[in-house]
Structure 1
């Protein structure tokens, strides 16, 4: 199922359904398609919003976790969202963490899956020579427990990005920014209910990272999914949606008794 990409000012985004806002932030090599199963499922009872993060469109000075957080801040203000259920995968989780620490009054719940912010394995010690598609395929496969999830379409998307010199420079800038921006000392300040949904076979942000988030974020719950890598909402959408639905339902606005 494809969704209409809306434009409001400089912002491009998907917005489907009605109800409390559920705002989704994708990762470094992520795209709106990463959330297609989640959008379809949750737009029945929530207003599901997926902004297109300008990962490779910002000037180099602002190509950072902080720069992305400011973009999300401006998007939320422009669209006048409040009481947001915020969810982030990978780098999107990191951006969500920085946002909630700066604007806690806007956020009702937080969900992280495969989030950076404490530790992550990047593309590796070496960066690919441009044009090395087989290298890109192998690295893309490492995102998942099942390498077949790295479809030709997905590999081609990543290959196109890494075959552009300026885009590669910006990817490296974002990856370095994520490593520098360690949030370990600040996570205790997060008061909102937080759901951690992690792949038991995540090789990029391994399970011990989820356990550390769980220890540091006071009001958090942790769920591991077996046979699942770095992007549970793509690889095991049914299990992911079930965990998320239970968590969100327990914090949904209760209607007054008439």
Structure 2
């Protein structure tokens, strides 16, 4: 584990391998451990970095009024601490929204974008009634007493969670901080990044689970049509967390794309 200090916050990240840097951003309710299959598979060719975003894993708690710009500045400090120049920035779900915000503010640190099963913010990708339903569901979850608090979200996988990763998923769920989820809920519900998509000028890989019900393929096609240099890879038999459900296909897509653009 490596740490970097940003405005009084300690940001932790894992770094393995040698080669062009690929920085992975986990989803809400997850931490750097989500990217275990990618660290194991891609470190033979790349410097693989997986951060614990502020408010998750081994990183500091979120301060009050923390916004997308603050997340982006913390990520910039991580990328700069690698001393390897611009990086491939890969984000899943909420992490993809952060990746887009990072690109908006730090395009000079971005070699490519890899956006997996993600959103241009919920407001920018989902119908208003769906956003309202998600907000209400999340508020009920967050209002539960500590002993009954369960951050698990239905529909993350096309089938049952992969048995090999169930202990990992349980460990990440047990470490979720409710205050972090409250902040992320407000940000996702209010964020609309559709204005940014046509301005993305770096090669962009879209990786989507064919059976994703959280961010359906219709969202992937909106990204593909809006981003000038976007290519879409659809992974059969995968839901929202395609990186864990079908890691071989996910890693193959990422490896080929990063190799082509490094």
Q: TM-score range by the shorter chain?
A: 0.7 to 0.9
Deviations 1:155-205 (A, max 9, x none): 4642553xxxxx324312212212212110111111100000001111111
Q: CA deviation at 1:74?
A: 2.3
Q: CA deviation at 1:248?
A: 1.6
Query: Partner residue of 2:3?
Result: 7
**Contact residue 119 and residue 179 of structure 1 kept, 8 A:** no
Counterpart among 53, 60, 67 of residue 70 in structure 2? 67
Q: Does 1:115 align with 2:118?
A: yes
Corresponding residue pairs, total: 239
Query: Partner residue of 1:248?
Result: 258
Q: TM-score, normalised by structure 2?
A: 0.83
**Residues 101, 12 of structure 1: alpha-carbon distance in 2 compared, 3 angstrom cutoff:** same
Distance 1:22 1:233 in 2: 14
Query: Partner residue of 2:173?
Result: 158
Q: Which ranges of structure 2 fall in alignment gaps of 5 or more residues?
A: none
Q: Does 1:212 align with 2:222?
A: yes
**Residues 169, 90 of structure 1: alpha-carbon distance in 2 compared, 3 angstrom cutoff:** same
Distance 1:6 1:102 in 2: 24
Distance 2:179 2:36 in 1: 29
**Residues 157, 16 of structure 1: alpha-carbon distance in 2 compared, 3 angstrom cutoff:** closer
SS in 1 for 2:189: helix
The 5 A counterparts of 1:1-258 are 5-9=1-5, 10-55=10-55, 57-62=61-66, 64-117=67-120, 118-119=124-125, 123=134, 125-126=136-137, 127-128=140-141, 129-130=144-145, 131-132=147-148, 136=151, 139=153, 141-149=154-162, 151=166, 154-155=169-170, 157-159=172-174, 161=176, 167-252=177-262
Deviations 1:199-230 (A, max 9, x none): 11111111111111111111000111122111
**Contact residue 206 and residue 231 of structure 2 kept, 8 A:** yes
Q: CA deviation at 1:143?
A: 0.9
Question: Displaced runs of 4+ in structure 1, greater than 6 A?
Answer: none
Distance 1:14 1:169 in 2: 24
Query: Partner residue of 1:255?
Result: none
Q: CA deviation at 1:79?
A: 3.6
Q: CA deviation at 1:8?
A: 4.4
**Contact residue 27 and residue 92 of structure 2 kept, 8 A:** yes
**Contact residue 60 and residue 170 of structure 1 kept, 8 A:** no
Give the alignment's Cα RMSD to 1 decimal.
Answer: 2.2
**Contact residue 28 and residue 55 of structure 1 kept, 8 A:** no
**Residues 119, 17 of structure 1: alpha-carbon distance in 2 compared, 3 angstrom cutoff:** same
Distance 1:223 1:114 in 2: 11
SS in 1 for 2:85: coil
